[in-house]
Amino acid sequence: MPVQRDALLSAYLDACETELRAFKPGNVSIYSEAHDMTVEDFRRSAAASGPFLCDSGLSLGGKIYHATRATREAVPCNTNLGIILLAAPLFQAVQEIREGETLRDALRRVLGATTQADADWTYKAIRLAQPGGLGESPDQDVRDAPEVTLLEAMRFAEHRDRIAYQYTNSFADVFDFAIPRYHRKLSQWGDKEWSAVAVFVGLLKHIPDSHIERKFGARYTGIVASRMAQIDKALSVSDRPEQVMPLLREVDAEFKSGGINPGTTADLTVACLLAVRLEALLGQRKRKTGCFLEA
């Protein structure tokens, strides 16, 4: 039996809320709002987009478009296009998972089977969201009708956009780095919000943020990585991560004074939190039924 839609929606809302409750320097959280966006904007966005992302009757591209449209009707700004782009394939994978597959196995198959129609829906969603830094591209520009599948379109962008990179590399940053780090920190601290902070810091320490680099180029890449390394070191030696709060506040103020918003890293953090919850749901269903879910 498939995972129930209500359980999927609950997993999504919990992932989004946990990310908001994690202090992510430079990004919007319950500790610090900025960039003309509020915590309530993100909560309304999650509530509006979730039902469409969890709709098994929609294609991958349909999920992306309708979730984006619902968000734009709920809030006046682009809060969650990156989250939607990452969440939609994860939900599609859960809904299409086959016996014996892991979530990532199903995800890899879903990404490999994207269509030109998926690309068309996604291009429409991107135009609707109007993300910051959207520029012209010589190959498959989103202002034009796509002539390739969604996966092929993402290949044109993977070198400059870390969300596109997830599509072409089976969500490598999420499954190979973020999820193992989350579980290690959750085991160490027993706190999902601080574990999300550790994921965000670790990702931003190692991977330049696409959102920052679209706005500033590589101007702040080294500075951001250095500050994240400082926070990561402080977290690594602490059994009480809340002791790092003064440093987080210092770096948060520094980033926001310069307009530095690690938005892509925040989106990847949500994807990690969502994947963890979806894997838990799949594990629960397997234990109850003695088998994997059917599509």
For residue 39, being part of any structural domain is answered with yes
3-state secondary structure of 173: helix
For residue 249, being part of any structural domain is answered with yes
The CA distance from 294 to 285, in Å, is 11
Tell me the pTM.
Answer: 0.93
> Which pair of structure tokens corresponds to residue 257?
């004074």
Q: Write b or e for each residue in 211-250: b if 16 or more Cβ atoms lie within 10 A of its Cβ, otherwise e.
A: bbbbbbeeebeeebbebbebbbebbeeeeebeebeebbee
For residue 19, being part of any structural domain is answered with yes
For residue 276, being part of any structural domain is answered with yes
For residue 169, being part of any structural domain is answered with yes
**Each residue of 192-227: pLDDT tens digit?**
999 999 999 999 999 999 999 999 999 999 999 999
For residue 61, being part of any structural domain is answered with yes
For residue 203, being part of any structural domain is answered with yes
Evaluate whether 3 touches 279 at the Cβ level (below 8 Å): no
pLDDT over 70 at 258, yes or no: yes
pLDDT of residue 3: 87
pLDDT of residue 36: 87
CATH number of the domain within which 123 lies: 1.10.4200.10
Q: Write b or e for each residue in 91-103: b if 16 or more Cβ atoms lie within 10 A of its Cβ, otherwise e.
A: bbbbbbbeeebeb
How many structural domains does the chain have? 1
Residue 31's domain comprises 5-289
Evaluate whether 256 touches 263 at the Cβ level (below 8 Å): no
For residue 294, being part of any structural domain is answered with no
The CA distance from 158 to 171, in Å, is 12
What DSSP assignment string belongs to 27-86? S-BTTB-BTTB-HHHHHHHHHHHHHHHT-TTS-HHHHHHHHHHHHHHH-SS--SHHHHHH
Q: Which residues pair with 34 in a beta bridge?
A: 37
**Each residue of 62-94: pLDDT tens digit?**
999 999 999 999 999 899 999 999 999 999 999
